[in-house]
Structure 1
Amino acid sequence: MPPVTDFATPLDAARLAHLVRSHWRIEVLHHVRDVSFGEDASRVRSGHGPQNMAMLRNLAIPLLTELGMASIPEAVRWVSYETFTRPLELLQIP
């Protein structure tokens, strides 16, 4: 019996596994953006604002992860203690 999917053509196990992993990678990213940056509660809703903020959050996640701290909120707090110098250090700007 062929596997049941919503696709017009049957998928082999490797392709289906790849699609599932890709889906969950996006879900994890959205979860991190919402939990760490409160994206769902953001009041930026008009024009290009939401896309611009999502782009900045997507840029910040790997930069903050590189700090090696236990969590992204902890890294955000560390950066926020010196708002004029630490973001520049994070971006490796002298």
Structure 2
Amino acid sequence: MPNMINFSPHALLSMRKRGALRYEVIDTIRTGTEIPAHLSRLGREKVFRDGYEWEGRSYLHKQIRVIYVEEGPATEVVTVIARYGEWEE
């Protein structure tokens, strides 16, 4: 797994709009479960279980999905999706 992780402008905007934090995205890339992605892209997801507030509501879990590409020694984050709810282990 490459060490350098870069964020596209679209990914940064998606993170801000959806409440995903930089450390969550990095952790998802490094330790998350692989998911299907299109157009030669890679995907990973991870459920964080710390309890979260989002748009005035409380949630037990936050699921982060990251779509990215590996470009030489770096990873470029293309987009990030955050969903809130409850997932089984």
Tell me the TM-score range normalised by the shorter chain: under 0.3
Higher RCO (C-alpha under 8 Å, 6+ residues apart): 2
- The structure number with the bigger radius of gyration is 1
Q: Which has the higher strand share?
A: 2
TM-score by length of 1: 0.27
